[in-house]
Amino acid sequence: MNYKYGVSCGILFLLFLPFNANAESVSMSVDLPIYTKSDIITIYGSITSEITLQISIIGPDGEIVADESVLIPPSDFSHSVILSDYDLERSGVHVISVMYDGNQLENEFFYDSGYNVNPMDVSNEHDTISESE
């Protein structure tokens, strides 16, 4: 009877033993309503072994406008994606993707290139209001 009790307690202990097999934690801060050339997207986390982050930014038309690999040593880390370092020519919804060890993070952000997104009508016709209106 004591043998069964000991085995049962041993199994329960192993079931509730906290394992830290995959302690990698990577997050991304995309919290502004509109991003401009002077803004930064932060990738941060805590990892136990060296990893390579594959960072991509995809433009509104589906074209890859940024693609870089960053080697991160084991530690708590923070990596800044400075938008002015990339050629983001068009305003619109962009997707930033971070891949590491078979995992993928993806976030959308609206980028304003600073150019007028909806330019005014430049035809020669002038809208006028008469005094009778």
Note the pLDDT tens digit of each residue in 3-45.
565 555 555 454 554 444 455 789 998 889 999 999 999 999 9
Query: Model confidence over 58-112: pLDDT tens digits?
Result: 999 999 999 999 999 999 999 999 999 998 888 999 999 999 999 999 999 999 9
Q: What strands lie across the sheet with 103-111, from one edge to the other?
A: 64-72, 51-58, 92-100, 103-111
pLDDT of residue 3: 58
CATH class of 22-111: mainly beta
pLDDT of 107-131, one tens digit each?
999 999 886 555 555 555 555 555 6
CA 76/CA 18 separation, integer angstroms: 21
Task: Return the pLDDT at 9.
Answer: 53
* Rounded-to-integer distance, Cα 107 and Cα 54, Å: 14
CA distance 24 to 53: 12
Query: Domain coordinates of the chain in residue numbers?
Result: 22-111
Q: Of the candidates 49, 70, 67, which has an alpha carbon nearest to the alpha carbon of residue 58? A: 67
Whole-number Cα distances in Å, 50 to 17, 54, 73, 109: 26, 13, 4, 28
pTM for the structure as a whole:
0.67
Task: Measure the CA–CA gap between 34 and 40, rounded to whole angstroms.
Answer: 11
